Amino acid sequence: MNYKIDNLQYCNWSREVFEINREAELDAVHVTIVYHEDYDELLKRVDEWNIRFKDNSDLIFHGKNFKDIEKAKDQKKTAIFFGFQNCSPIEDDIGLVEKVHHLGCKFMQLTYNNQSLLATGCYEKIDSGVTHFGKEVIKEMNRVGIVVDMSHSAEKSTFDAIDISEKPIAITHANPSFWHEAIRNKSNDLIKTLAKSGGMIGLSLYPHHLREGTNCSLESFCEMTAKTAELIGVKNIGIGSDLCLKQPDTVVEWMRNGTWTKTKNYGEGSKKKPGFPKQPDWFEDARGFKNLESGLKKIGFNQSEVEGILGNNWYNFYKNI
């Protein structure tokens, strides 16, 4: 097998983006369909996706489980798996977990950057871990089959989630902080514990998560990948590019501010650089997978390891959950 999977994109979806993903030979993409939307707003996002599936049925279809990754490869299409970057759609109601699963939700972050009803986000000062409601929701996510995603969560909350969840969890898009000390990146202890429990980390290509940002070199990224593999093993590493192709800057503003503040929060950006950062030239979009492939080989990974990182490891994770 040889599947290519990008396990996190949040693009301004259009036929052009789907074509680029096909050109990159992506068999599956985990797409963020909501951040701060409540359940009713989620229903609208799902409707929008149903129109996209209809209008672009030669390029994409709604992926439900690992077999759809195989089907996508056969049909030269991209299977689209739904995920949430915040738990807003389940509101304060455990009953909505099953409902969002029925709508196709495959991954749900317990928090975005702030405290949620379930756990603490990585931007809060104090991390109290997974809450009472959070424990109940993780149990329910395990039961119905939604992966716990802790990409934007704080450290103790993430350790808690690994501990509480009976199924492996994921950090769909982040990098190790040994390479680049971003608030969103993860400690060695954390990614080791994640991997031991069968969890996956999707390495991110979002400039704020990269050493030297937009100017990060392919070599540096691949070196980081090699060191991560030494630390946690190669089988628990994938890609979650965090590509936000064609998004206007108003979208990153909304991602960071939602409706929780009357002032402006810049998240990983700053007053001087408030918008989406420019991608490195070797990964402007998913066609950069080709560059990753040659870069990872050059750094010393063998063919099977490279294929694992670029998709097969995610495929196995989907298969096991």
| Site residues for a copy of itself per CB under 8 A | 36, 38, 88, 91-95, 114-117, 120, 123-129, 131-134, 136, 140, 258-263, 265
Alpha-carbon distance of 117 to 209, in angstroms, equals: 26
CB of 128 to a copy of itself, least distance (A): 4
Structure tokens belonging to residue 217 = 């070199």
The residue (of 89 and 207) whose beta carbon lies closer to a copy of itself is 89
**139 contacts: CB under 8 Å, gap ≥ 6:** 164, 166
Q: Report how far apart, in Å, the C-alpha atoms of 210 and of each of 85, 157, 206, 248 are.
A: 20, 23, 7, 21
CB of 84 to a copy of itself, least distance (A): 14
Coil, strand or helix at 11? coil
The least distance separating a copy of itself from the CB of residue 156, rounded to whole angstroms, comes to 8
- Rounded to 5 degrees, φ, ψ at 270 are -155, 170
φ and ψ at residue 317, rounded to 5 degrees: -65, -45
Element spanning 141, H or E: helix 132-144
Residue 44 near residue 290, CB atoms below 8 Å = no
Q: How many angstroms separate the CA atoms of 194 and 171, rounded?
A: 9
CB of 192 vs a copy of itself, minimal distance in Å = 23
Q: Is 24 helix (H, G, I), strand (E, B) or coil?
A: coil
- Cβ nearer to a copy of itself, comparing 120 with 313: 120
Contacts with 235 (C-beta within 8 Å, 6 or more apart), sequence order: 308, 313, 316
Please state, in angstroms and rounded to a whole number, the distance separating the CA atoms of residues 208 and 211.
Answer: 8
- The whole-angstrom separation of Cα 270 and Cα 3 is 37
N- to C-terminal Cα separation, the chain: 19
Q: For a copy of itself, which is the closer residue by CB, 56 or 120?
A: 120
Q: How near is the Cβ of 313 to a copy of itself at its closest, in Å?
A: 33
Output 140 or 268, the one with its CB closest to a copy of itself. 140
When the beta carbons of 98 and 223 are compared against a copy of itself, the nearer one is 98
Distance in Å, CB of 105 to a copy of itself, minimum: 18
Residue number, 15 or 260, with CB nearest to a copy of itself: 260
Q: What is the distance between the alpha carbons of residues 174 and 288, in angstroms, rounded to a whole number? A: 17
On whether the CB atoms of residues 201 and 236 are closer than 8 A, the answer is yes
- Nearest CB to a copy of itself, comparing residues 16 and 41: 41
Pick 36 or 101: Cβ nearer a copy of itself: 36
- Closest distance to a copy of itself from the beta carbon of 247 (Å): 21
Q: What is the closest distance, in whole angstroms, from the C-beta atom of residue 248 to a copy of itself in the complex?
A: 22
